[in-house]
Structure 1
Amino acid sequence: MGGKIEAYLDCVSPYSYFALLFLLRNSDILKSHGVEIDFIPVFLGGIMVGSENTPPWKNQNKAKYSTYDSKRAQKYFGVNFETPPFFPILSLLPQRAITFIKSSYPQSKFEDTFCDLWKAMWENHDDLSKPKKMIDLLSKRFEPDDVKKIMEGANKPEIKQELNEKTKQALDSGAFGCPWFEVTNTNGKKEPFFGSDRFHFMFDFLGLPWQDIAIKEKPNL
């Protein structure tokens, strides 16, 4: 029992948001079982190109199905939003900014701000590819000097390279979308998982106790 979950996420992906929320809500109990979680910002556009995958909105049947699947997932994970009118955006700026925050601020600050990216874009429809919108978001959680530091840090060559390397790391492990996970159990065995609906397989791989979905018996009236 125990191990590590490496979660590769991009704020342009609503299913990454579902995965982030689920893992954060269960982080304490996962920690009690000896499971470490590492949230890793990546650039989904690079993963899609590198894996030669087709985004759902470019496939008529996928796009039609996703309208149903998204609402079902939102209900399950406890959120409610509509696709922003500017979707899909180029997520490089927010993903570079959160990469810098991860390397420069406490874990809790990083996790809270990572959640802020999805809330701003998906719930408030703020286009975070625009620097002004990104500054407005950061100003709610950081002091002005820190906001300036983060915005400058997001454009540093080493941060751009870090995001590129993490994206390549995900690709090299087999990623074709987000959320993508690399999970290592206590025996040192590592396996990949994809999507926000594979946690039961993940927990089984980690040797964690979990409850399966079951249909309840019809009560006798």
Structure 2
Amino acid sequence: MAGKITCYIDCVSLYSYYALIALEKNREKLISHNVDIDIVPVFLGGINVGSGNKPPWTLPAKGKYGKFEVTRAMKYFGTPNLKVPSFFPIVSLLPQRALIFIKREHPQTYVQTFLNLFVEMWEKSTDISKPEILAQVLSKSYSEAEVRNILDQANSPDVKQALNDNTKEALERGAFGCPWFWVKNKKGAEEPFFGSDRYVPPTTFSAWTHVKTQTGRCFA
């Protein structure tokens, strides 16, 4: 039986960006150990409401600490250009729905598109929640017709429901934030990992995936 990492992320979540960076960095190692990776778009706002969690910036102590943590993370993950956009936070429904459709119809470019959206928001301060701006960003990777189709389908009942279903699945698996990981080892045993614990000892995670890397440190 293969192991599997299911990663629930949202482009509005900075630490989801770091989680995806780390997973992609270790993708080949994970695959070599027969570990599948599934990147799942969810709506973080829905997870917060459904779990009763509050965003860090709404609590003064968390907000103050976050400045230190972000600085450490920037150094750790090598993202010196990162900055919190002036328009943060966004309502991420449109980009997340677009990613649902891209994953379905353009699987070969899906992960890179997710990374591109993170870069646009967190390094270039691009408000990807606005349809016209999201279209411009997507046009760097897709044809005009494809972009038009992606945005049209992002507003379809089917895709909207798919994002709702993904978010509900994450909640049912205990999620209270992003990134949220559901990890299954080769014996079929399953266990969650929350993204803020980036500095968890590497043996904790590698014991589950049977991958002798430091991927356990990526979860933030």
TMscore range, shorter length = over 0.9
Shift of 1:208: 2.4
Structure 1 residue aligned with 2:97? 96
CA contact (8 A) 2:206 2:215 kept: no
Q: Does 1:188 align with 2:188?
A: yes
Structure 2 residue aligned with 1:218? none
Q: Which amino acid aligns with 2:104?
A: S
CA contact (8 A) 1:96 1:160 kept: yes
Q: TM (normalized to structure 1)?
A: 0.92
Distance 1:46 1:31 in 2: 31
Q: How many positions carry a matched residue from both structures?
A: 212
Structure 1: where are the runs of 5+ without partners? 214-221
Q: TM (normalized to structure 2)?
A: 0.92
Structure 1 residue aligned with 2:6? 6
CA contact (8 A) 2:5 2:183 kept: yes
CA contact (8 A) 1:139 1:147 kept: yes
1:21 to 1:44, Cα distance in 2 relative to 1, 3 A: same
Which residues of 2 match residues 1-221 of structure 1 at below 5 A?
A: 3-80=3-80, 81-107=82-108, 109-195=109-195, 197=198, 198=200, 200=202, 201-210=204-213
Distance 1:131 1:64 in 2: 32
Structure 2: where are the runs of 5+ without partners? none
SS of structure 1 residue aligned to 2:116: helix
Structure 2 residue aligned with 1:216? none
CA contact (8 A) 1:2 1:208 kept: no
1:212 to 1:171, Cα distance in 2 relative to 1, 3 A: closer
Distance 1:89 1:82 in 2: 14
CA contact (8 A) 2:8 2:42 kept: yes
* Cα deviation 1:87-140 (Å, max 9, x = unaligned): 111000000001110011133x00110001111111111111111110010010
Identity %: 50
